[in-house]
Each structure stands twice: as C-alpha cells, then as structure tokens.
Amino acid sequence: MTLLSLTGVSRTYGEVLALDRVDLSVKVGGLTAVVGASGSGKTTLLRLIAGFEAPDAGRIEMGGTVLAGGSGFVPAHRRGIGLVAQEGALFPHLSAGANIAFGMEGSEQDRRVAELLRAVELDPALAQRMPHELSGGQQQRVALARALARRPRLMLFDEPFSALDAGLRANMREMVKARLGAEGITGILVTHDQQEALSFADQLVVLEDGRIVQAGDPRELYQQPRTERLARFLGDALVVDAAVAGGEAMTALGRVRVGKATAEGRARILLRPEQIRLVPWSEGQPAAEILSASFEGPITVVKFRANGATFTIKCSSAEAPVQGRASIIVLGTGHPVAAA
C-alpha cells in the first residue's frame, strides 16, 4: 500500500531547475534512501514533502490526501511529517531535554526524554545543557531524538548523521532503522553516502541534477545500474569491453556469465571488485600479471594486467597475491551498462 506519492513534481529557484518532473512512490512502513551529489536536489525534495516549499508543477499526495498540487496546499504543521534537518535546527533557547519534550503531553516526559537520549547514545544528564553547550554531533543526535519523540507517520532525514564518526554513524543508522520498523513509521533518508543508503533502504532513489535516474531495490541498483556513471557512483566498479554471445561475455578477465536477456554483440559489462578472485596461477585459466600490491590492513589494493588491460581491485589481505602471476576467477554474473 502506498503512503506517499509524487507525480511530475518540479521546483525551480530563479534559473535553477532544482527538481525536474519527479515521480516517486513510497510504501507504508517502507524505508527509502535518496542519494545524489551535492546540489542534485535532495534537500529540495524533502522540503517539498515536508511542506516548507510548494512545487511549481506536479502533485504530492499522502494517504489519499493531496498535500500540494492544483489549488491545494496543506501547511507543514498539519501534514504529520517529521523532518530532521541537515543542520539539526534545535530551538536555541531551550535545553536539550526541553527540545526533545517539546509538544509532548502527559506525565512521563522525563522518563521518555531519558530513554530517547540513551537511544541516541547520549548521557541523560545532557538534558540540562543548552544547544550551544553541545558539540555538532551531539546536537544532531538531540535533533534525532526530538523527531523520534513525536512518532509521526512519515519521517524525513536530511543527512542526519553527517557530523558523526563512522562507528557512531553506523549505530545511529541501525537504531533509526529498528525504531522505525518497530513503530511502523515510514522513512526517507537523504545521504551522499552510498554505503549508508544501500544498508538502510528497501528502496533506493538516485538523483542527478534534479532528476531521478534510477529507483528500485538497492541490491538490484548496485548490481544492475543502467549506466556506467551510476555504477561508479554506487561503488567500486570494473567496466570491461565485451563480446556477448550465448549468455556469455568474452572479456579481458576471461569468460563472464551474463543474464539471458543480454543483447548479443559488443557491450560494456559491469563487475564489482568482490566478484573477482585472484588465485594461485594454474595453466589454462585467464591470467593476471600483478603490477603492484598495496597493503592497507584488512585489504590489499592490487593492480594487475590481463589481456593488455589494467585493473585495480581490493582483495582480502589473507589471499591477495603480491607479485608474479595469478589466475582470475569471476564470481556471479556481469551486467551490461550504458556508456553515459
């Protein structure tokens, strides 16, 4: 069942077309991640959904109600949508605790504030502090706790973990995901971190210059992006020239299985580095000549040459070849990508 839908939504600022005919549908209880480079329109998209801006064209609907479009416009405070803004945006004159409790009713406020502070891995004693007495990362987490406290039907997150370091960032992502799931809240997370998007969402949406270039299951987008550009945006990629025939692609890395529907003839085939294994050399296998191996702890970056082409991949240090010759094994299937 669909909770939110956008149809042909556009928004311009002067000369800038920030969003260009965006169609998007979000399921009840679904988790959507929106990724895109800086300036691609991510914040604009969330502000339109939240109701802080109105679209120039198109329609936004939630649960059968038109929020924006035609003559209708439901103001932000009547949409029942929570937004964790990019910069946190706490009320500066209220303590952290009062920020979180803002709008809460009933007698259990202190207990709930303490519980929410613990959920975002902050000491409940920080409830007394004013926003300016907190670090950027602490402010972001108070803003997150404040949004979670309200339990809206739909929660929007605009790069809410950007001021946190890697470990805490992953914890917050898991916590938010678990909470939204437990409370049946639908979520949209904006991020420029592809890994964060892939691990958070059941629907991944990629924005480029205000347009959705592809949307779908994260695994599918990672493995089968339409274009080479998108392939590289979503992670490390090997894109090789190939001749496709009979469900196989002949490449510099050897024979690669491809989907049955792949068009025959010349193609560019995408492989992810984790599909490539370099194993001790044995006769008759596609060969890799190791050019360099750079140790980085758990992984080693290996540069090699195969059939005149040069490739760089990350290998597990436990099995990375460091010199000489290796055999190439390709796992899984390759997928054709358009050159754009």
Q: CB-wise, 7 or 162, nearer to Mg ion? A: 162
191 touching ligand ADP, by CB under 6 A = no
Which residues contact Mg ion (rule: CB under 5 A)?
42-43
The answer to the question of residue 42 lying near ligand ADP (CB under 6 A) is: yes
- When the beta carbons of 38 and 107 are compared against ligand ADP, the nearer one is 38
Residue whose pair of structure tokens reads 């926003």 in the numeric block = 131
Shortest distance, CB of residue 260 to Mg ion, whole angstroms?
41
- Please, which residue, 161 or 304, has the CB nearer to Mg ion? 161
Q: Which amino acid is at 285?
A: Q
Cα-Cα-Cα-Cα torsion 168, 170, 174, 179, nearest 10 degrees, comes to 40
Rg (C-alpha) for the chain, rounded Å, is: 24
CA distance 174 to 165: 14
Please give the residues from 199 up to 218 whose contact with ligand ADP meets the rule CB under 6 A.
none
Half-sphere CA count of 256, side-chain side, radius 13 A: 33
Judged by beta carbon distances under 5 to 8 A according to partner kind, the member of ligand ADP, Mg ion, none in contact with residue 13 is ligand ADP
For residue 40, the partner it binds in Mg ion, ligand ADP, none, with Cβ less than 5 to 8 A by kind, is ligand ADP
258: which strand partners?
Answer: 334
Q: Select the residue interacting with ligand ADP from 30, 33, 40, 333 (CB under 6 A).
A: 40
Question: Residue 330: CB partners within 8 Å, gap ≥ 6?
Answer: 253, 254, 255, 256, 257, 271, 275, 276, 277
- From the list ligand ADP, Mg ion, none, pick the one residue 107 interacts with, judged by a Cβ distance below 5 to 8 Å according to partner type: none
| Of 275, 289, 272, residue with least CA distance to 327 | 289
Nearer to ligand ADP among residue 35 and residue 249 (C-beta): 35
Q: How many residues bind ligand ADP (CB under 6 A)?
A: 11
- Give min distance, CB of 41 to Mg ion, in A: 8
Q: Which does 268 bind (CB under 5 to 8 A by kind): Mg ion, ligand ADP, none?
A: none
* Binding partner at 102 among Mg ion, ligand ADP, none, C-beta below 5 to 8 Å by kind: none
Packed helices 136-149 and 109-119: angle between N→C axes, nearest 10 degrees: 130
Segment interacting with ligand ADP, rule: CB under 6 A, options 36-44, 135-143, 293-301, 330-338: 36-44
DSSP 338: B
Q: Which residues pair with 280 in a beta bridge?
A: 326
150 to each of 27, 38, 224, 227, how far by Cα in Å?
20, 29, 38, 40
Eight-class DSSP state of 169: H
Does 36 participate in binding ligand ADP (rule CB under 6 A)?
Answer: yes
* Cα–Cα distance for residue pair 101/109, rounded to 1 Å: 6
230 or 330, CB closer to ligand ADP?
A: 230
- Nearer to Mg ion by Cβ, of 191 and 224: the residue is 191
Stretch that binds ligand ADP, among 33-41, 134-142, 258-266, 308-316 (CB under 6 A): 33-41
- Select from 4, 20, 31, 44 the one that contacts ligand ADP (CB under 6 A): 44
* Residue among 149, 134, 133 at smallest CA distance from 101: 149
